[in-house]
Chain A
Amino acid sequence: MATLRDIQRRIRSVQSTQKITRAMKLVAAAKLRRAQERILAARPYAGKMKELLGNLVAGADGAIHPLLEQREGPRRQIVIVTADKGLAGAFNSNVLRRSLEFVRSSNTQEVTLVVVGRKARDFYRRRQWPIKRDMLGFWDRLAYGHAQELADYFMQQYLGGEVDEVYLIYNEFRSVALQRPVREQLLPIPRAENGGGSGAEVDYIYEPSPEAILGDLLPRHVRMQVYRALMESLAGEYGARMTAMEAATKNAKEMIEVLTIQYNKARQEKITKELLDIVGGAEALKQGAEA
C-alpha cells in the first residue's frame, strides 16, 4: 500500500505532466492554423499551374519533355518525409512503416534513399540503410526555398540519368484528426497529371514556343508538388500532435481523479486506524484502572 506522501507526490507529478501536454496542445493548435493557411494560400497557384500544364501537353504535340518521358530503368529513389520530433501519436511510425514496406519491396541494389526529417533519418540509420541525402531541422521555418532545393536535386539526378524514378512518401493532411501516409510518383511526371486540361483546345499565341514554355513549367510543377507535400506533412504533424496531446491531457486528468480517490481512501484509513489506536489505548487504560 502506497503511503499518503507517495500518492501526493504522484498526483503532483501527473499534474505537471498535464501542464506540459496542455501547453504542447495549444502550441500545436496555433501552428496548425498557420500551416493550414499556407496550404490554402498556395492553392490558386497550384490549381492554375495544373490547368496550364494540361493545356500545354495537349498543345505541344509530339514534343515530349525529358521530365515526362517514362523510362524503363530500375533505379528508384525513395523520399521519406517525417517530422523532426515525436510526441505526435502514430504520425511518424505510420509513414515509416509504409516506407519500409516499399523500400523492402524494391530491388535493394537499385534503391537510393532521401530522408526529410530527423525521425526518418534516425529510423533508416538504425537499420543501416545507406542514406543518399538528408534534410533536417528546417520545419520551423519551412519555406518554398526548401522545396525548391529538394526538387532541383531530384530533377538534377533524374535528368543526369542517376535515377529512373522518384517517389515521395509523406503524411497527407486529411483533417486535424486524420493524417494518412501516401506514396506519390514525383518523377517522371505521371500521365494522369498532365492529361486532360480544360478540354476545349485554346489556340494560344505562344511566346516563346509551347515546348519552351513547357520546359519552364515542368520544373516549377515538380517544385510545387514537393512544396505541397512538405506543407501537408507539416500541417499533419501539428494536427497529430494536437490530437495526441489532447488525449494525453485527458488521460492525465483521469489519472489525477483515480489518484485523488486513492489518496482520500488512504487518508480515511489512516484516520480510522489512528482512531482505533486511541480507542484501543483508552480501553486498555480503562481496563488497567479497573484491575
Chain B
Amino acid sequence: MADALQLEIATPVRLVVSDMVDEVIAPGSEGYFGVLRGHAPFLTTLGVGELTYRKGRDEYHLAVAGGFAEVRNDKVIVLADSAERPKEIDRERAERARHRAEQRLGGRGQEEIDYARCTAALARALTRLHVAGRPH
C-alpha cells in the first residue's frame, strides 16, 4: 500500500521533504491531526510540534514550527516556518534555548508579550530536543 499520499514540506529557505508516503501526523494549531488516503480537503495553521510520516513500516520525524498545512487530492503540503530532521537539529543550541526560556519564565515582572514569546521559544526547544532523540 505504498504511494498513497504525496507529501511536500517546504520552508522559506528550502524544500525539506518531497516524497510518497502512507500516513502523515502533523501538529495543527488546534491539535495533532492524521492524514490517510482519501482525506477531505483540509486547511489549517500549524503549531509547534513533531511531524511524523510513515512509509510502509518506517516512521520519520521532523520538528516543525508555525505555518500551514493543506490536504487536497491525496496531496499534503506543509509550509512551515521551520522544519528540521533529527540529525539536522543542533542539540546544544536547543538546550541553551530551553535553559534561557526557563530562566525567563521563572523570573518575575515580565510583560505579557515576553511571556508569550518565552512560552513559544520553550515549546520549540522542547520539540527539537524530543525530535533530536529520534533515530530518523
Contact = CB atoms under 8 A, between A and B. Distances in A.
A213 B14 CA distance: 22
Given A207-B28, A208-B30, A44 B15 contact: yes
Interface stretch (B38-46, B56-64, B92-100): B38-46
Interface string B2-13: 000000101111
Contacts of B11: 45
Interface residues of A, number: 28
B79 A45 contact: yes
Contacts of B72: 202, 204
A58 interface: no
Nearest to A38: B13
Contact of A206 (B10, B13, B44): B44
B25 interface: no
Given A42-B12, A44-B8, A208-B30, A220 B67 contact: yes
Interface SS of chain A: helix, strand, loop or mixed? helix
A227 B11 CA distance: 12
A44 B68 CA distance: 14
A52 B79 contact: yes
Given A49-B79, A52-B68, A204 B12 contact: no
Given A48-B77, A217-B68, A212 B45 contact: yes
Interface in A150-192: none
A254 to B, nearest CB: 43
A41 B14 CA distance: 5
Contact of B10 (A45, A212, A216): A45
A291 interface: no
A1 interface: no
A223 interface: yes
Chain B interface size band reads 20 to 34
A222 B79 CA distance: 15
B77 A205 contact: no
Contact of B42 (A52, A144, A207): A207
A203 interface: yes
Interface string A5-41: 0000000000000000000000000000000001001
Given A49-B79, A216-B68, A205 B8 contact: no
A252 interface: no
B44 to A, nearest CB: 4
Given A44-B15, A224-B12, A207 B29 contact: yes
Nearest to A49: B79
Contact of B41 (A41, A44, A49, A202): A202
Given A48-B77, A49-B79, A204 B10 contact: no
A144 B13 contact: yes
B44 A207 contact: yes
Contact of A213 (B8, B10, B12, B44): B44
The 4 closest A-B pairs by CB, nearest first: A207-B44, A45-B10, A41-B14, A204-B43
Given A204-B41, A213-B43, 15 more contacts: A42-B12, A42-B14, A44-B15, A45-B10, A45-B79, A48-B8, A48-B77, A56-B43, A203-B41, A207-B29, A207-B30, A208-B29, A208-B45, A212-B45, A220-B81
